[in-house]
Every structure is written in C-alpha cells, then in structure tokens.
A and B are shown apart, each in its own frame.
Chain A
Amino acid sequence: MADALAKPESPVGEAHAAPKALVLWRPEAKTGLISWLTTVDHKRIGFMYGVAALFFFLVGGVEALLIRLQLAVPNNNFLTAQQYNEMFTMHATTMIFLAVMPLSAAFFNFIMPLQIGARDVAFPRLNAFSFWVFLAGAVILNIGWFIHDGAPNGGWFGYTPLTTRGFSPSHSIDMWVMGLQLLGVASIAASLNFIVTILNMRAPGMTMMRLPVFTWMTLVTAFLVVLAFPAITIALIELMMDRLFGTNFFEVSNGGMPVLWTHLFWVFGHPEVYILILPAMGIISEILPTFARKPLFGYPIVVFSGACIGFLGFGVWSHHMFTTGMGTVATAAFSMTTMAIAVPTGVKIFNWIGTLWNGHLTMRTPMRFALGFIWLFMIGGFSGVMHAAAPADAQQHNSYFVVAHFHYVLIGGSLFALLAGIHYWFPLMFGRRVSEGWGKLSFWIIFVGFNVTFFPMHFLGLNGMPRRTFTYDPNMGWNTGNLIATVGAFILGVGVAVYFTVMIYTFFKGERTGSDPWDARTLEWSLPVPVPEYNYRVIPTVHARDAWWYEKRNKDEVARARAAHAPGEASHGIHMPFQSIYPLVSAVGILIGSIGVSVIDADPGPGLIGPKLAVTLAGLAVFLVGVYLWALEGNEGYHVHPEEDHP
C-alpha cells in the first residue's frame, strides 16, 4: 500500500504527471458534499474530527447524566441494571475513543502541520482514510442502541470471562470488539502519518528542539499509539477468535487464563491514559507562554519530561491489577514505577508555574481554562500517587475513589485543556472569537459543576461505595454524596451546554478577528485567516524557538531570508495533492466487513456461504477495490500559483 501514498513535497512535475497513473475519477469540487468526502486537506480532516468528537462528547455526556440520575437516590429504578451496564460501558468507551482521542486528533491534524511550517501531512490520503475508519468504528460501536442485541455492556475494559460467549452471548460484545479494532486501525494509521510528518516535513531551520511543545507531544503520543495499540489489537483478536471460532484463549475449562486479557488490556490501557493527557499538556504549554508574555520556562526539560512520561507509561500497567495476586515483587516493582511517573509530571507543573512567574498575565478565556487545568490535574495527580501505593490501592480498588481520580485527570486534565485549545485556536480556524463574558461564564459554571460532581466521589469511595453497581442501599451513608454529585453533574451539563451554544453562535455570528489576535508565538499564527488550502505561500525559514515572536521582532532578517528562496518557489508553483475518493471507499469496505463479522448471526454450518460470510467477503472486496485504485491513481498533484498579495 505504501506505493499508493502521496508526498506533497515531491519534486514530481506536471510534465510527467499525466500519463503515469490509472485514474478513474479526479474529484475537483472545492465546495459541497463531494469536496468533503474526497478531501485530503489536513485542515478539513481536522475539522471533521472535531465535529465528530463534539457530537460523541454530547452523546457520552447524556449517558453520564443518565448514570447520575440513576444514582441520585438509593434504590432508584430509573434505569434497569442492564441499561445501567450499557450506560457505563458506552459512556467510558465513547468519552475515551470517540470524544477525547478524536478531539486531540482534530488538533493534531489542524495545528501540527501549521506549527512545523508544512503544507500538509506526509500522506494526505492516508490521513483521510484514518478519519473515515474512525467514523466506521464509531458507527459499529453504536449500532447496538438501534438493534435487538443492545449496546455493549461489558465495561470499557471488557474483562474476560464476562465478555466470553458463555456469559455474553449477544452480538453487543462483538460490536464492541470490532468497533475498538477499527478505532485502533484508524489511530495507528493516523499516528504513523504524524510521526513521518513531524520528522520529515519540518520547514528549514525548524530543528527538533525548536518544535512547539504541542508538536512534540503529538510526536510522543503518536509513538505511544503505534506501540500500545497492538496489545489491545491482539487481545481483541484473541477474544474474537474465542467468540467466533470457539478457541481457548480465555476458556477456563480448557486452560485459558482470563488474567492474560487483563494484562494485555492494561499493557495498552495505561499508555492510553498518556495518549489522552499528553496532547492536553502540549496545548497547555502553548497557551501559558502566549498569555504570560514569556517563553516557556525550561523548554528542553518540559519536552524531555513528556517523552519520559511516554517511556515510563509502558512500565506501569500492572498498577491496575494490584488485587489480582501478582506476588509481592511484581507489586512492589509496579508500585515504584508508578510513583516514578509523578516526577516528570511534577517537573512539568513546576515549569508551567515558572512560565507564569513574573509574567504579564492576560486572563483571557483560554488562559482561564489552562489555569483550571493545572489545579484540577494536580488534584487528580495527588490521588493518582495514592493509588500507586499498593496497600492503599487495595482499599481504594474498584471504589468511587478511583472514579473521582480519573475524572479529575480526564475532565480536569484532558478536557479542560481541549476546551482551552478550542478557545485558543478558534480565531485561527474560523476567524472569529468567543466573547470574553460568555467564555468566562461557561468556564466558571463548568469549573464549579465539575468539582461539585467529582469531589464528593473521593469520600464516597473511601466510604466503600463500589463502582459499576446500578443502585445502593439507603443506610450505607452514601445518600448525601450521591445527591450532591448528581446536582453537580447537571451544573456541569449546563456549563457544557453554555460553552457549546456560545461556540456555535460564535461560529456563525461572533466577533471577527484578524490573523494573530493573541499576539502568539508559534508559526501557525503567521498565516492569514482563513488559512489558504496550501497553508504557506512561501515555506517559512525558522530562526528561533518561538518562531513567530522572533519574526515579529526581527522583520528585516526574516524578509531577507524569504526573499532569498521565494522566487525559486514562485517559478514552479505550489504542489498540491489531488483529492481522492478511495480512502472513503476503502473505509466503507471495512465498515461492511465489520458489520458482517460483528452484527450478523453466525452461518448455519461450515462450507456454506451464509449471510455472515457473504457480507464479510463483500466488505473485503470493496476494501480491496479501494486500496488498488488508491495505489494505481498514484500520488500526483497539481500546482497552484497564488497571487503575490499575502505578506
């Protein structure tokens, strides 16, 4: 498939572009549905990731509110136990894989190539493919709501033997397995693309130690995805083999060991939490210096700490399994590696404080969310270190204390940073800015609602309230805490509703801004708004770490450098990759095949081509057609010659 992939910077000229490829259709629409279905523009793909992520964020949020309604009072029967299981399974799966990860991916796509001075990612069609496969995975995961089998209900961790055929015979677990499998394929493909892009597509002068921290964290996250997702891919394959073909991986009566699933899942699952938080740390590292009017304090150590967290993240998975009886040596080792993670994390927090120290703080909305992030993430970090101590963890295990902990790092951490990032980059993406009053109002409602929801859960957990049970007895002493948490959840819901209502209003009618409204530091702000399809008319030459601040203060030097190589570029124009429908075709094939595998009942007997095999093979055929036409159309492009009017 590698021969199929485009290289926007390739020196292939127009002269020999035409006769080489087998081209059935070159979509050329720049507006309308076809243009979106065939786009290879990283900014448009990033926008689609963002819209999909926000949609699923709302779905996951509604699921959360239903969970809180059920738990508001003891012995409630607002939801049945079965519905409750579906809710907490789908709330977690949705928020992790369909909301936070794709929202990070939206920023990776939109911002990262701009930050390194590139005109697109290294493989534009592969990038489109990643998005469409992600969407296919999201569809498979959610089909269950609309059919008889129901939504997945085995928890986002899918522990065996609960998820084996004997205990979960319906297709809901099959859909969970295939859905996650597709999301893994999408994430790995996207991350391979980002790795190549960051290493290979940097503008002249953009050395690795001049990369903006957000781009650095994109790189570390991409490596985590590439190396961690195979573990869950294998775990899911093994579970699928057990469910479809009756193998014995997790079949206890034939020597299978369910704890193998737990290990494989958390070998993936723990790096996954850094996949969720490192992009957030990158966003924070962009926002704080911009609004403190100071370069990031200790840039090299912030970068190194991020990479260090990534490395250590692979050596801590068993802290999710302290109560499985691993033995004292393993438990002590994983306890210590887990505590070690607190060191680079703490280093980052101190560097952020160092950035703020003596800065000229401008308290705009993105800055408020960023400061909220530091506080809330720190609280989540404290309870995280408490879990690292194995004896304490044995007490907290499976209790609401754990729920409190990871919501502080996932909402207080990841989500606050992503909400900050939306505010921060909104003017670059859409040329409009959210009004400060509404921005700050939504921040305070979200901040208060979040703490009212999740802080009481620390006490509930220490008082013994277990996770994942759909109701509780009135005389356990958990009534007040639960009621407060439910009230808080609705305050949080109002805050999120205000945030997004204002965002949508701003998208259509907000205050217009020119380029660079924050007087920011990194290259993406040097671009006109809206960003042209080719991003940079002349590829910038980078002279310093905060490249755009440097350019603004050293205009003469930059103008000379630009004049030196601009004519060369102008003569042959800007190379743009052609649009293509085949990433979508391939992804549709994968969707059809996955429906065959996961939704349709097993065929009557071996040797017969029943509906299940037929649909699966049909999907495979569509996929192969897509891949071959993708390869044969080649990676050619066209040249644009923009007017000389941009600065």
Chain B
Amino acid sequence: MSSTAAAATIDHHHDPSTATGIPNKKLLMWAFLASDCMFFGCLISTHLIYRLHPPPGVPAARDVFSIELTSFSTFILLMSSLMMALAVNAIQKGNLKSLRACLATTILFGAIFLGCQVYEFSHFVSEKHLTITSNILGTTFYTLTGTHGLHVLIGVIWLASMLAYSFTGRLTEKDSIDVESMGLYWHFVDIVWIVIFTVVYLLEYL
C-alpha cells in the first residue's frame, strides 16, 4: 500500500503497511511464543505433579542436583540475553561490526550453557545413577530440561546462521526485524529457564 521513501530513516517500532502497525514477523513470533508458553507450561506441570506424588525409592532431587553449577549456567544464559539485546540495537543502527560481535558473544554464552547441561547430565548419569528410565524424577527432569536445552540449541543454530548470513552482505538495517524476532525467541528461552530454574532447582532447597 504505502511505500516508504528509500532515503527516510527506518522506524523500527511501527510498520505502516500493517493494520496494527506491528510488523508481521514480530506478531507471528509473539503468537508463537504464546503457544510455546503452553508447551512449557504442560511440561513444567508434569514435573511438579510427579514431584508431589513420588513413588517409593525415588532419590531426593536435592541429593542429585549441583546448584552451584546450575547457578553459574543460569547467570551465563541471562548475560546472553543482554548481548542479544545489544545485537538487535546494533542492526537497528546498521552497525554490522557490532552486530557480529554481539551475536558471537550470544552464541558463545549459549554454547557454554549447553556445555554445562551436557556436563550436568553426564555427571548425573555416571555419578548419581539417575537416568531417564530409572525413575519418575529422571523421566520428568531430563525431559523438561532436555526440551529446554533443545530450544537453546535451535536458538544457537539460528544465531549462528544469522551470523554467517551477515557476512554475505545481504543483511542490512532494513532486515533488523529478522534479528529482532530471533531476539524475542532467545529472550523467551531465557525467561522459561528462569521459571525452570526456580521450580525445578530452587524449590528443592526451600
């Protein structure tokens, strides 16, 4: 309908071609995240319900978890959100160099989080003898945190693809909505982790 003049500055918060002024891709991502909320909500509920009804012989989660390591990886993941926000800011200013630095840091932090999770899982399996089949705690714990880890992995792959794409010369300020919707996804994955960290880990130390 309306064609913005090429010379004008780009307004990143209003898209005149849509009826609501919200860019289509942003609205799509928000609606998808609402769906993903229900997705994680059901998994977290499953964990909490079985936590209240443990069959005999299930070890106390407190004896399995290592809160120091998980607190560290939680902190790293939160910091990755900061870097993601800076990355969005960079592309909105058309600063590709800064964008690449911020994306690379976000990827690094995401990878550290994943590394911590891999270490945590293998430690639980080999030292604490908690496997996904051994009891209901193992089943719900690995499924829930593993599903979250899969979300982080998809996010890291997406970020890495965007980083690679930024070297083709095709990524410009006009495409900042692509980085921004990726950022929405990444922040959501972080926020879900805050909930999981609280109700799966911290709750056991009350």
Q: Are B35's CB and A255's CB within 8 A?
A: no
Q: Are A2's CB and B136's CB within 8 A?
A: no
Size of A's binding interface in residues, CB under 8 A: 53
Q: Are B1's CB and A9's CB within 8 A?
A: yes
CB-defined contacts of A319 to chain B, threshold 8 Å: none
Q: Are A230's CB and B3's CB within 8 A?
A: no
Residue of A nearest to B182 (CB): A2
Q: Are A206's CB and B19's CB within 8 A?
A: yes
CB-defined contacts of B34 to chain A, threshold 8 Å: 226-227
Contact with B along A569-581 (1 / 0, CB 8 A): 1001000000000
Q: Is B58 an interface residue (CB 8 A)?
A: yes
Q: Is A469 an interface residue (CB 8 A)?
A: no
Q: Are A245's CB and B132's CB within 8 A?
A: yes
CA distance A428 to B49 in the complex (A): 52
CB-defined contacts of A2 to chain B, threshold 8 Å: 25, 28-29, 178, 181-182
CB-defined contacts of B170 to chain A, threshold 8 Å: 20-21
Main secondary structure, interface of B, reads: helix
Question: Which of chain B's residues 1-58 have a Cβ closer than 8 Å to chain A?
Answer: 1-4, 17-20, 22, 24-25, 27-29, 31-32, 34-36, 38-39, 41-43, 46, 49-50, 53-55, 58
CA distance A249 to B29 in the complex (A): 31
Q: Are B22's CB and A200's CB within 8 A?
A: yes
CA distance A237 to B162 in the complex (A): 30
Q: Are A200's CB and B136's CB within 8 A?
A: no
CB-defined contacts of A228 to chain B, threshold 8 Å: 38
CA distance A241 to B32 in the complex (A): 24
Q: Are A123's CB and B133's CB within 8 A?
A: no
Q: Is A169 an interface residue (CB 8 A)?
A: no
CB-defined contacts of B53 to chain A, threshold 8 Å: 255, 257
Q: Is B98 an interface residue (CB 8 A)?
A: no
Q: Smallest distance from the beta carbon of A267 to chain B beta carbons, Å?
A: 8
Residue of B nearest to A250 (CB): B139
CA distance A264 to B147 in the complex (A): 18
CB-defined contacts of B74 to chain A, threshold 8 Å: none
Residue of A nearest to B21 (CB): A200
Q: Are B135's CB and A255's CB within 8 A?
A: yes
CB-defined contacts of B35 to chain A, threshold 8 Å: 188, 192, 226-227, 229-230
Q: Are B38's CB and A230's CB within 8 A?
A: yes
Q: Are B38's CB and A9's CB within 8 A?
A: no
Q: Are A10's CB and B17's CB within 8 A?
A: yes
Q: Are A247's CB and B143's CB within 8 A?
A: yes
Q: Are A11's CB and B17's CB within 8 A?
A: yes
Q: Are B133's CB and A122's CB within 8 A?
A: no
Contact with B along A532-555 (1 / 0, CB 8 A): 000000010000000000000000
CA distance A206 to B156 in the complex (A): 40
Known: A2-B29, A13-B3, A200-B20. A264 touches B42 (CB 8 A): yes
CB-defined contacts of B181 to chain A, threshold 8 Å: 2-3
Q: Are B4's CB and A11's CB within 8 A?
A: yes
Q: Are B28's CB and A5's CB within 8 A?
A: yes
Partner of A230, one of B19, B42, B135, B182: B42
Partner of A255, one of B43, B54, B161: B54
CB-defined contacts of A195 to chain B, threshold 8 Å: 27, 31
CB-defined contacts of B135 to chain A, threshold 8 Å: 248, 254-255
CB-defined contacts of B39 to chain A, threshold 8 Å: 230, 233-234
CB-defined contacts of B25 to chain A, threshold 8 Å: 2-3, 5, 7
Q: Smallest distance from the beta carbon of A40 to chain B beta carbons, Å?
A: 15
Known: A9-B17, A248-B136, A248-B139. A260 touches B49 (CB 8 A): yes
Q: Smallest distance from the beta carbon of B79 to chain A beta carbons, Å?
A: 24
Q: Is B120 an interface residue (CB 8 A)?
A: no
Q: Is B204 an interface residue (CB 8 A)?
A: no
CB-defined contacts of A13 to chain B, threshold 8 Å: 3
A-B contact pairs, 21 of them (CB 8 A): A2-B28, A7-B17, A11-B17, A123-B24, A195-B27, A199-B19, A199-B27, A200-B18, A200-B24, A202-B19, A230-B36, A230-B38, A234-B43, A237-B143, A238-B143, A246-B133, A247-B139, A248-B136, A254-B136, A255-B50, A260-B49
Taking A9-B17, A200-B20 as known contacts, 15 extra A-B pairs with beta carbons closer than 8 A to each other, sorted by chain A number, are A2-B182, A3-B182, A7-B17, A7-B24, A20-B170, A199-B20, A200-B22, A226-B35, A227-B34, A227-B35, A230-B41, A241-B139, A248-B139, A254-B55, A260-B46
Interface residues, chain B, CB within 8 Å of chain A? 1-4, 17-20, 22, 24-25, 27-29, 31-32, 34-36, 38-39, 41-43, 46, 49-50, 53-55, 58, 132-133, 135-136, 138-140, 143, 147, 158, 161-162, 170, 175, 178, 181-182
